[in-house]
């Protein structure tokens, strides 16, 4: 084989090897993204809510410990002692009702909400330093006729800063209980999702909503 042919063969081999490496890297990148739960962006117009399904799994662990940061998926003191799962289901239902009030959309959908975490403030925390209501839920929009998801299920982070000490007691006297503030905050989060599906994907939107609620409370 001539030197020219040898050089040409080497160039072709290197080219194919580079393409193969690029292909492999691309496939690996996609698989990693998929493993991390990444989903392709899907643009939807405002949602017309046909029905709502709310699930608070009984598998979520409840803690009634009065410590600064108890372990558990559910920590809630905004209602009297009782069935915390049922209480949070009622809060989510009320929030969804508020979110739907006066709202209109173009895409009919069943809104499914599944609670992942609801870690609120204990008595010890609320009446001292205050803290944050750490709230997570999965949101799925489904076609009312087929039941198929209109977009991938998304986890919504709906944290809300909560008052502490004297400010918390002042808020209580004005009727701004934890339950009132949390319900209104979740209604705003859900309304934003109905108007622009996917808009609550980052912490920026949550921060803006929290700031809005703080301003409205006027404490």
pLDDT at 16: 38
Averaged pLDDT, 132-146: 97
Q: What is the pLDDT of residue 60?
A: 98
| Cα 90-97-48 angle, rounded to 5 deg | 135
| pLDDT value at 29 more than 70 | no
13 or 104, which is more confident: 104
> How much is the pLDDT for 200?
74
Query: How confident is the model over 46-68, as a mean pLDDT?
Result: 96
pLDDT at 26 over 80: no
DSSP letter for each residue of 121-179 = --HHHHTTT-EEEEEEEEEEEE-TTT--BSS--EEEE--EEE--HHHHHHHHHTT--HH
Average pLDDT over residues 41-64: 92
Query: Residue range 62-87: average pLDDT?
Result: 96
Q: How confident is the model at residue 198 (pLDDT cuts 50, 70, 90)?
A: confident
- pLDDT tens per residue across span 98-136: 999 999 999 999 999 999 999 999 999 999 999 999 999
φ/ψ of 181, rounded to 5, equals -70, -45
Q: For residues 55-76, give the mean pLDDT.
A: 96
Q: Higher-confidence residue: 25 or 2?
A: 2
Q: How many CA atoms lie within 13 A of 141 on its CB side?
A: 23
Q: What percent of the chain has pLDDT over 70?
A: 72
| Model confidence, pTM | 0.75
DSSP assignment of 11-39 equals HHHHHHHHHHHHHHHHHHHHHHHHHTT--
Q: List, for residues 150-186, the tens digit of each pLDDT value.
A: 999 999 999 999 999 999 999 999 999 999 999 999 9
């Amino acid at each position: 084989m001539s030197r020219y042919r040898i050089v040409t063969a080497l160039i072709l081999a290197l080219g194919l090897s580079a393409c193969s490496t690029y292909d492999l890297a691309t496939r690996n990148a996609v698989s990693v993204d998929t493993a991390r739960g990444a989903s392709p962006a899907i643009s939807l117009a405002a949602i017309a809510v046909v029905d709502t399904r709310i699930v608070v799994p009984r598998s979520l662990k409840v803690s009634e410990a009065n410590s600064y940061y108890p372990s558990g998926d559910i920590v809630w003191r905004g209602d009297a002692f009782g069935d915390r799962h049922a209480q949070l289901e009622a809060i989510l239902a009320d929030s969804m009702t508020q979110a739907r009030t006066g709202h209109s959309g173009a895409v009919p959908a069943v809104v499914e909400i599944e609670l992942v975490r609801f870690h609120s403030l204990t008595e010890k925390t609320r009446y001292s330093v205050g803290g944050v209501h750490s709230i997570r839920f999965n949101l799925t929009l489904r076609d009312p006729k087929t039941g198929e998801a209109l977009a991938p299920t998304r986890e919504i982070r709906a944290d809300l800063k909560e008052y502490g000490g004297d400010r918390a007691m002042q808020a209580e006297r004005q009727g701004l209980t934890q339950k009132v503030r949390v319900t209104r905050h979740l209604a705003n989060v859900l309304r934003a999702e109905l108007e622009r599906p996917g808009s609550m994907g980052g912490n920026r939107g949550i921060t803006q909503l929290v700031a809005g609620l703080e301003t409205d409370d006027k404490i």
